[in-house]
Amino acid sequence: MSNFFLGRLMLDLDGTTLTQEENELLLNPHVGGVILFARNISSRQQVQELCEEIRKINPKLLIAVDQEGGRVQRLKEGYTILPTMQRLSAFLNSDSDKNFSFATDLGWLMASEVIASGLDISFAPVLDLDDSRSSVIGDRSISDNPKQVIDIASAFIEGMNQAGMEAIGKHFPGHGGIFADSHYTFSQDIRSLSELESHDLLPFDALKLQLGGIMTAHISFTNIDKEIATFSKFWLQDILRNKMGFTGIIFSDDLSMKGSDYVGGIEAKVGKALESGCNMVLICNDRPAAIEAINFLEKKKISQSQKVSRLKASEEISWADLKNDARRIDIIDKLNIIEKLKL
C-alpha cells in the first residue's frame, strides 16, 4: 500500500468490540489511528477479529499497542510472554560473547506476533535510561548505560524491521531522570542541556536512522525550556529535527495525562502539540476529549499527514505459519531457559 493521508489523532476504544459511536469515529477524516489497551483484549482470536472489524470500516488506519515486554505487555493470552528489557539486558551481559543476536530475535518475535494479529506497530523500544529514580520507567528501561541501551535497542529494532514493523523510540528526550510520574502530575527535570546530551539523548541520536517514530515525554526541563517536550518547539524542532536530523514521525504521549494539563483544555493541548511539531497526537481514556479534539481539528482545518502512513506494517504474517515457525519455537525455548535463571 503506497503512502496516503491520515488524520492527526490516535484514539482508544471502549471494549473488545466496536460500538456504533466508534464505527462513526473511525470514519472521521481527522482520526488516523487506534491504540489497543488491556480492556480491548481477551484472546488472540478476539484481537484478530477486532482488528478485522476496524479494517473493514477504515483499512487505512494505523493500529497500535504497547507491547514492550514485562509489565507493559497488553497482548498476553495466546502470546509469548516477553521479559522486561532490563532482564533481557542482564541476560545478554551474562553472555561471554556479548552477542546481541537474541535481542534481534526478540524484536522479531514481538513484532511478528503483533503483525499476525492485525496490528501495525508497538510503541517500542523504551530508550529512557534507568537512573533509579523513575518508578514509571524502572525495568522498562534497558539500562542506565547509554551504550548498552544503544547496542541492545539497535539489535531489537533490527528484529522488528525483519518482521515488517517500524520502531517507535520513547520517551524523548528522556523520562528516566526524575521521580515524578507525568501520568499524574506536572513533571520537571532540572538538568542542563549538556548533561542530557552526554546521557539521556545519546540513544535517540544514535538510533535516529533506525527509528520510524519517536514518542515525546510530558516533562519540562525547566533550565532549558519551560514547556514540556511535547509542547516544545525547542525540543522537537531545534533539537530533534534540526540538530539531530530526525526525519521520522513524532507522536505525542497521551494528552489526557495530567502532566500536560498546565496549558489548559484539550484544544490548547492539541494545538500546542501540533504547533510544536507532533505529527500525531494520542488522546486515551477520555472519549469526550477525543470528540472535542476532532471538532477542534475540523474548526482549525488541520490537514492530514502523509508521513504517518509510512508506519503501516510492510509484511503480512499469518498465525498459522508463525505458530510452527522454527525461529519462533527456538526463541521460546530460549526464553524458558532465561526464566529459570537468577539474573
- Residues catalogued as catalytic: 183, 253
Cα–Cα distance between 78 and 67 in angstroms, integer? 14
- Please give the DSSP secondary-structure letter assigned to residue 260: G
Question: How many CA atoms are closer than 13 Å to the CA of 93, on its beta-carbon side?
Answer: 14
- Angstrom CA distances, 86 to 93, 94, 137, 152, stand at 10, 12, 11, 10
Cβ contact 92:148 at 8 Å: no
The pair phi, psi for residue 109, each rounded to 5°, is -60, -50
Helix (H) or strand (E) holding 34: strand 31-36
User: Rounded to the nearest 5 degrees, what angle is found at the Cα of 327, between the Cα atoms of 333 and 76?
Assistant: 60
**Distance, first Cα to last Cα, the chain:** 44
Candidates 235, 231, 267, 223; CA nearest to 252 is 231
Kindly report the number of other CB atoms within 10 A of residue 148's CB atom: 17
Candidates 258, 252, 249, 251; CA nearest to 286 is 258
Cβ contact 329:56 at 8 Å: no
Cα–Cα distance between 205 and 55 in angstroms, integer? 35
User: Rounded to the nearest 5 degrees, what angle is found at the Cα of 308, between the Cα atoms of 305 and 311?
Assistant: 165
Helix (H) or strand (E) holding 211: strand 211-216
Cα–Cα distance between 314 and 332 in angstroms, integer? 24
